[in-house]
């Protein structure tokens, strides 16, 4: 899709939604860039493994902008972007990355196990594909309780190799469960190119056997993501069942940590440069300027305000206490 086609997509999206999506993407990007700085030695203030979301901001933002607060979104090990896009408190998120008591998981979850329950993000998991059946179960509960809420589950291309993905598609189709399956296909399953993992890399087509609509979208175009998800959510909300959406996107950093992994020979600089040239934030920013939805001054003010907010939450996290050892077994569930 060229820039003219991208721009035309914006014409029937409310300007307040466009502006909010821009702010959300900038907040995710700047938060993650600050986290990356805190991961680099010799300072290395953060010790929890962090899978950064830089480059994929349009997916979480476009999806969550189409949801209500009462809709649930289930996340993965690459969770920060989903948390922020669903409205989670970045003060609590940063504190969790510092493993502090004031964190969103009380310092016991770290980067890969975060939650914003009050905003409709029940949790994330380091188990690849682990939240897919949970999201389907939540959707089934909504149907049984006759609620109009929907469930969304984010997962990477690596999860498509898991059996539970196909079992979940089948069950969701049988029950016409109000669930949206969102695959963030960033072309690498940890350190393997997707073609080394899947015999058929057309992920969106894998729902055909289960009579579920499958759609592929440009995961760098937040407007396209938003519009496609909005239709899927409306269908799910009114009893038409699930949808599988494959968002083709790209992570600028390595699988885990702050570096780009170019030295490992996993991908080329040319490939990375291409995707960085398709920065989702710059793409939306140009459209907002073109349609006089935002001025350059407003854009600069937004970045300045977010930067100041992030520095405040870093200080809050640094000064927060660690969990007491006497609380080690609190919030832990056990079967009797």
More confident residue, 107 or 3: 107
CA distance 51 to 33: 12
Residue reference for tokens 């962090």: 50
Q: Does 314 score more than 80 pLDDT?
A: yes
Instruction: Name the average pLDDT for the chain.
Output: 95
β-strand pairing of 188-189 with 214-218: unpaired
CA distance 246 to 239: 22
pLDDT tens digits, 126-166: 999 999 999 999 999 999 999 999 999 999 999 999 999 99
Distances from the Cα of 176 to the Cα of 72, 179, 257, 329, angstroms: 17, 8, 39, 39
Ordered DSSP codes for 66-97: TS-TTSEEE--SS-HHHHHHTT--HHHHHHHH
Task: Among 185-189, 289-293, 328-332, name the one with the lowest average pLDDT.
Answer: 328-332
Q: Look at residue 328 in the predicted model and tell me its pLDDT.
A: 80
Q: Look at residue 293 in the predicted model and tell me its pLDDT.
A: 95
Q: Look at residue 331 in the predicted model and tell me its pLDDT.
A: 80
β-strand pairing of 179-185 with 243-248: parallel
Considering the entire predicted model, what is its pTM?
0.95
Task: Among 11-15, 253-257, 287-291, name the one with the lowest average pLDDT.
Answer: 11-15
Domain 3-327 -> CATH class: alpha beta
Q: Look at residue 309 in the predicted model and tell me its pLDDT.
A: 98
Distances from the Cα of 27 to the Cα of 33, 119, 121, 211, 300, angstroms: 10, 17, 18, 37, 13
pLDDT tens digits, 86-125: 999 999 999 999 999 999 999 999 999 999 999 999 999 9
Mean pLDDT of 248-258: 96
pLDDT tens digits, 63-89: 999 999 999 999 999 999 999 999 999
Strands, sheet with 151-156, edge to edge from the N-terminal-most edge strand: 72-74, 151-156, 179-185, 243-248, 214-218
Rg of the chain taking only CA atoms, in angstroms? 19
Per DSSP, 123 falls in state B
CA distance 165 to 202: 15
Q: Look at residue 62 in the predicted model and tell me its pLDDT.
A: 98
Domains of the chain, residue spans = 3-327
Q: 4: pLDDT confidence band, cut at 50, 70 and 90?
A: low
Q: Does 1 score more than 70 pLDDT?
A: no
CA distance 78 to 56: 10
Q: Look at residue 2 in the predicted model and tell me its pLDDT.
A: 60
Residue 1 · residue 221 · CB < 8 Å:
yes
């Amino acid at each position: 899709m060229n820039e003219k086609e991208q721009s035309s997509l914006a014409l029937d999206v409310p300007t307040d939604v466009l502006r909010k999506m821009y702010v959300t993407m900038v907040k995710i990007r700047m938060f993650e860039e600050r986290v990356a700085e805190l991961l680099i030695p010799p300072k290395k203030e953060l010790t929890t493994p962090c899978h950064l979301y830089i480059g994929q901001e349009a997916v979480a933002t476009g999806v969550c902008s189409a949801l209500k607060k009462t809709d649930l979104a289930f996340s993965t090990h690459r969770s920060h972007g989903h948390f922020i896009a669903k409205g989670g408190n970045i003060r609590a998120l940063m504190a969790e990355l510092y493993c502090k008591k004031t964190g969103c998981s009380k310092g016991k979850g770290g980067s890969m196990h975060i939650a914003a329950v009050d905003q409709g993000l029940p949790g994330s998991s380091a188990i690849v594909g682990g939240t897919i059946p949970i999201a389907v179960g939540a959707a089934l509960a909504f149907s049984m309780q006759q609620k109009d809420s929907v469930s969304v589950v984010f997962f990477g291309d690596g999860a498509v190799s898991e059996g539970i993905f196909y079992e979940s598609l089948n069950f969701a189709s049988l029950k016409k469960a109000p669930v949206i399956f969102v695959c963030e296909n960033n072309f690498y399953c940890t350190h393997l190119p997707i073609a080394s993992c899947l015999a058929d890399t057309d992920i969106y087509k894998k729902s055909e056997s289960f009579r579920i609509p499958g759609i592929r979208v440009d995961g760098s175009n937040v407007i396209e993501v938003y519009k496609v998800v909005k239709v899927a959510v409306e269908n799910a909300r009114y009893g038409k069942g699930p949808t599988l959406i494959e968002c083709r996107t790209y992570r600028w950093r390595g699988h885990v940590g702050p570096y780009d992994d170019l030295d490992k020979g996993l991908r080329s600089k040319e490939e990375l440069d291409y995707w960085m040239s398709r920065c989702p934030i710059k793409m939306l920013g140009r459209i907002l300027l073109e349609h006089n939805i935002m001025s350059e001054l407003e854009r600069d003010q937004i970045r300045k305000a977010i930067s100041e907010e992030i520095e405040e939450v870093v200080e809050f996290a640094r000064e927060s206490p660690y969990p007491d050892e006497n609380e080690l077994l609190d919030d832990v569930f056990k079967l009797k």
